[in-house]
A = this chain, B = another copy of it.
Amino acid sequence: MVKYPTGSLSNYTSDHTDLFKLKNNHHKKNIVFSDRGMSLEQQINESNQYYLMQNIAVVHKKPTPIQIVKVDYPKRSRAVIKEAYFRQASTTDYNGVYKGYYLDFEAKETRNRTSFPLKNFHEHQIIHLDQCLQQDGICFTIIRFVSLNRYFITPASFIIHAWNDKSKKSLTLSEIESNSYEIKSGFRPTLPYLDIVDKFILDRK
Chain A residues with CB under 8 Å of chain B are: 1-5, 8-9, 12, 52, 55, 57-58, 60, 62-70, 78-87, 89-91, 95-102, 104, 128, 131-132, 134-137
Contact = CB atoms under 8 A, between A and B. Distances in A.
Nearest to A12: B68
Contact of A84 (B66, B89, B91, B131): B66
A66 B67 contact: no
A9 B60 contact: no
Contacts of A102: 96-97, 100-102
B97 A136 contact: yes
A130 to B, nearest CB: 10
A136 B136 CA distance: 15
A58 B97 contact: no
Nearest to A79: B86
Contacts of A85: 5, 78-81
Count chain B CB atoms within 10 A of each CB in A67, A79, A134 and give the residue with the most. A67
